[in-house]
Amino acid sequence: MKKSFVFLICSVFALGTSGYAQTKKTGKGAKPASSVLSPADVAKGKALITKSDCFACHKPTEKLVGPAYSDVAKKYPATQANVTMLAKKVIKGGSGVWGEIPMAPHPSVTQADAEKIVKYILSTK
């Protein structure tokens, strides 16, 4: 399972080219970032990343092989729609958004865990 997390964050950064588009919700239907990024979910997401090999390719504030978490947070507003979309990309993998290095799919990661990881990443803005 640890090896599957090596590419986990790589999937988050390879977003947008496999049929998913960035979603920006505004107005009545949008939840404020504070309600999407609950402290409990952010803490759980950080724990999941810390226990993984994600840092082999990513750093919180510097580009390594993949983009910095903070760069992802700047690109994608913290909406539930983006959390869901990015979590699906973590699970399915992809390429092309952050460069040509593809990120492998992570089918063993649950949607719930992937969403917590994404919430942590989006909190690093």
**Which domains does the chain show, CATH number per domain?**
2-20+33-122 (1.10.760.10)
Tokens (6 digits) for 52: 């993984």
Taking the C-alpha atoms of residue 103 and residue 82, their distance in angstroms, rounded to an integer, is 18
Q: What is the pLDDT of residues 32-80, one digit of tens each?
A: 566 899 999 999 999 998 887 678 788 999 998 888 999 999 999 999 9
Q: According to the model, what pLDDT value does residue 31 have?
A: 56
Q: What is the dihedral angle through the alpha carbons of 72, 101, 112, 31, rounded to the nearest 10 degrees?
A: 30
Known binding residue 103? Answer is yes
Q: What is the pLDDT of residues 99-108, one digit of tens each?
A: 888 877 778 8
Known binding residue 54? Answer is yes
Is residue 3 very low, low, confident or very high in pLDDT (cuts 50, 70, 90)? very low
Is the pLDDT score of 27 beyond 60?
Answer: no
Known binding residue 106? Answer is no
What is the chain's mean pLDDT, rounded?
77
120 by Cβ neighbours in 10 Å (0-12 / 13-18 / 19+) ranks as: buried
Is the pLDDT score of 94 beyond 90?
Answer: no
Rounded to two decimals, the pTM is: 0.73
Residue located via tokens 């990443």:
121
Q: According to the model, what pLDDT value does residue 33 have?
A: 63
Q: What is the pLDDT of residues 14-25, one digit of tens each?
A: 433 333 334 444
Is residue 112 very low, low, confident or very high in pLDDT (cuts 50, 70, 90)? very high
Q: According to the model, what pLDDT value does residue 102 have?
A: 80
